[in-house]
Amino acid sequence: MKLYFHRSLILLSFLLLVVFSLLVAEAEVITLTEETFNDKVKEKDTAWFVRFCVPWCKHCKNLGSLWEDLGKEMEREDEIEVGQVDCGTSKPLCSKVDIHSYPTFKLFYNGEEVAKYQGTRDVESLRTFVLEEAEKAATNSQLEDEKEL
């Protein structure tokens, strides 16, 4: 009986580890909804690079794991988050942020849209864009804060 319990405990631990690993692997890209979008993109001193897609779009499907790969790459950056919005289930949100084609990639900083990405669709190009634009947005925000003082 002890041996059976021990084996069951080991199996259960292994399964929990696998489930936890899968959850952590998905955490690099945060799904945003109508309920969460505004609060998230308004986080102080945080850039949000957001992909807007719909499930039926062939161009969105052709991205494959690109957005998840970018999320993993950007995980090291403290003040940059990678998000995604399903415009099929969040139509009012997508209309509000002026989404008319898919996929659309936008960078938000302190709640404001600061840039729209229209370049090459590879991880390095996306990463370079978001780092450069987030730095510009942070500098502009800091200058505005200093003006207010």
Structural domain harbouring 88: 27-148
Cis peptide before 103 (omega within 30 of 0): yes
Strand, coil or helix: 43: coil
The number of distinct structural domains making up the chain is 1
Amino acid symbol at 39 = D
Q: In terms of pTM, does the model score above 0.85?
A: no
pLDDT at residue 10 in the model = 54
CATH number for the domain harbouring residue 78 = 3.40.30.10
DSSP secondary-structure letter at 46? -
Count CB-CB contacts under 10 A for residue 97. Answer: 17
Please check whether residue 144 lies inside any domain of the structure: yes
pLDDT at residue 147 in the model = 79
Please check whether residue 67 lies inside any domain of the structure: yes
Please check whether residue 122 lies inside any domain of the structure: yes
The region of weakest confidence among 20-34, 62-76, 82-96 is 20-34
Please check whether residue 22 lies inside any domain of the structure: no
pLDDT at residue 18 in the model = 37
Please check whether residue 120 lies inside any domain of the structure: yes
Catalytic positions, written as ranges: 57, 60
Q: Mind listing the pLDDT tens digit for each residue in 109-132?
A: 999 999 999 999 999 999 999 999
d(CA 46, CA 64): 26
Please check whether residue 2 lies inside any domain of the structure: no
Please check whether residue 20 lies inside any domain of the structure: no
Alpha-carbon torsion (55, 61, 65, 67), positive or negative: negative
Q: Mind listing the pLDDT tens digit for each residue in 6-57?
A: 555 454 454 444 334 444 444 599 999 999 999 999 999 999 999 999 999 9
Please check whether residue 3 lies inside any domain of the structure: no
